[in-house]
A and B are shown apart, each in its own frame.
Chain A
Amino acid sequence: MGQFLLKRIGLAVPTLLVVVFLVFMAVHLAPSDPVENKLGEKATAEQRTAMRHHYGLDQPLPLQFVRYVGGLLHGDFGESYKLEQPVSTLIAVKFPVTAQLAIAALLFSIAVGLPAGAVAAYFHNSWFDRAVMALVVAMVSIPSIVLGPLLILGVAVKLGWLPTSGWESPKYMVLPMIALGSRSAAIVARFMRSSLLDTLRQDYIRTAIAKGLSRPMAVWRHGIKNALLPVLTVLGTNFGALLTGSFVVETLFHVPGIGDISIESIQWRDYPVVQGMALLVAIVYVFVNLGVDVLYGAIDPRVRARG
């Protein structure tokens, strides 16, 4: 297990470095000059030099990159031009909000998708199965930028059941969670269904039933557990989609998370913040995928042996 873990982490490190390099280069090649933006045209030459020096912009680019990576290792993401605060402070304030939203959406997609997919597979070809599949096909192609406005108009404006926007109490979380998580719920349901259908065809299920276990018990004890494995991977890739999907949902529902501050920072051309947030999402994305890989190996010894 230890070796397997090391190997997976070993693969993730170069990926992360390349990601950091690309984000850094993209931001530093931006034509818009941060000093010009912040100080305006009236600034004196001394002021400009002082600001360049303060943000380390007077250093050669390779040195800036090494310093940035060095800072990252200490949790230092640089300093915002506009807010004059460390980016890490902003992350500490904004990231929990996005994480809450993404985790709520993930739990929503599990709570809805798993049972729906499992029951559809159990009653294969029944009306329930067909209804679930029809809904799945529809929901997979409805993104949050479409579902969000529909939920706002239907549930919040027309029915008045929930607030249209904001982030004050748990009930503010319901609509963003559904808008963000429903596509993922549909994907989970589809995966769970096909995975359980595959599992139910296996010999060991037939053996269990032949030995006198009832079909529901055989499915519950031997089927569900084995069917969950492939679903786990899809949950991992979905979490990345949920994080980036939150950019849209946060803007739609005025949720003060990292999507919200990223868009604001792009408008202010506050590049250290943009760079920090993009990196944060990419790092979380790489680590979630790593976590899923490791978890997969921990649950299924066959993967460990192969990997």
Chain B
Amino acid sequence: MAEVTLAKPSLSPTAEAWRRLQRNPVAVVCGTFIVGLVLVALLANLLKPQGYDTPDFLHRLAAGSAAHPLGTDQEGRDVLSRIVYGARISLGVATVIVSIEIAIGLTLGLIAGYYGGAIDSALMRVTDVMFSFPDILLAILLVAVVQPGPGKALAPQVSLITLFVALGLVYWPGLARLARGQAMALRNREYIEAARAMGVRDRAILLRHLLPNTLSPIIVQVTQDIAQVMLAEATLSFLGLGVQPPFPSWGRMIQDALPFKEAHPILLLAPTVALAATVMAFNFFGDALRDALDPRLRE
């Protein structure tokens, strides 16, 4: 037995995690789905060259056919095209917002956790206030106050930027708290102390020693936040406060389909299923990632 153990090549922690991930069927299915979805979002122009906003006035509310596999909506637009471009909006919005979340939350969290003291107290007070609001309500309020006069809607591009700012503001405190906790737990470890004793500057300690060691829980959190942010975008768009037409958003499509739920259920079903599958894929993949990165965290 001893020889077998010795003969086994030792894998790096990353390779070990990757191997565990590949062995988990849930991770493989969800990971494949996510990769596929990203490809669809990137290649939307090639897959659906007619675009998301081209009306076919002769075929409004049409049933599925070769030309329109999922039929058309009340304005004669191809439903499948709108789902495909909706994936681009949904993933794109989530990517930007999660990047904002990482930029603010991770930076502030690591600094607060590492230095402690006044910076830390200030961060905690700010996050306390943010947490005393129910999450989506804060986003609704932020988006609501920037709306132009009644009957007018924000320009589609402006609606995207508003969404980025509002959701970015709502989601960073969670990650900041996580990063803070991680930095606090690690700041007195021997290797950090050793680096400090050797005269390594704080900036280098934060970036080269602290950051890499806090990454696993943060990657897991970010994967699950992608799902949360997609849902938040869908919810705001559903309420008419998110992505503005002509951009397609799954949430908006659910809202637009409600009057036709009896006669044309496919209009409601298509965006609902797309949203459900995507959110579940990210959630389950996040769970699998946690198990793979740190098997000890498993229940």
Contact = CB atoms under 8 A, between A and B. Distances in A.
A141 interface: yes
A152 B279 contact: no
A252 B279 CA distance: 19
Given A142-B276, A149-B269, A252-B258, A27 B240 contact: no
Given A241-B134, A269-B149, A141 B280 contact: yes
B144 A266 contact: yes
B133 A146 contact: no
Interface string A120-160: 00000000000000000110111101100110110001100
B240 A150 contact: no
B129 interface: yes
Interface stretch (B52-60, B77-85, B135-143, B184-192): B135-143
Contacts of B144: 30, 266, 274
B25 interface: no
Interface in A272-304: 274, 278, 281-282, 285-286
A19 interface: yes
B280 A145 contact: no
A37 interface: yes
A159 to B, nearest CB: 12
A286 B128 CA distance: 12
Dominant SS at the A interface?
Answer: helix
A279 B133 CA distance: 9
Contact of B141 (A23, A37, A252): A23
Contacts, number: 126
Given A18-B129, A153-B268, A248-B238, A141 B227 contact: yes
Contact of B268 (A18, A33, A152, A262): A152
B7 interface: no
A59 interface: no
Given A243-B134, A281-B134, A281-B137, A145 B251 contact: yes
A61 interface: no
A15 B137 contact: no
Contact of A263 (B145, B148, B239): B239
A32 B262 CA distance: 38
B132 A15 contact: yes
Interface in A30-62: 30-33, 36-37
Interface in B280-299: 280, 283-284, 287, 299
Contact of A194 (B132, B287, B299): B299
23 contacts: A19-B132, A138-B280, A141-B227, A141-B279, A141-B280, A141-B284, A142-B280, A145-B234, A145-B235, A145-B238, A145-B251, A146-B275, A152-B261, A153-B269, A244-B135, A244-B136, A248-B235, A248-B239, A251-B238, A252-B258, A271-B145, A274-B145, A286-B132
Interface of B: 128-129, 132-137, 140-142, 144-150, 227, 231, 234-235, 238-241, 251, 254-255, 257-258, 261-262, 265, 268-269, 272, 275-276, 279-280, 283-284, 287, 299
Given A141-B280, A153-B261, A262-B140, 4 more contacts: A31-B146, A141-B279, A149-B257, A244-B134
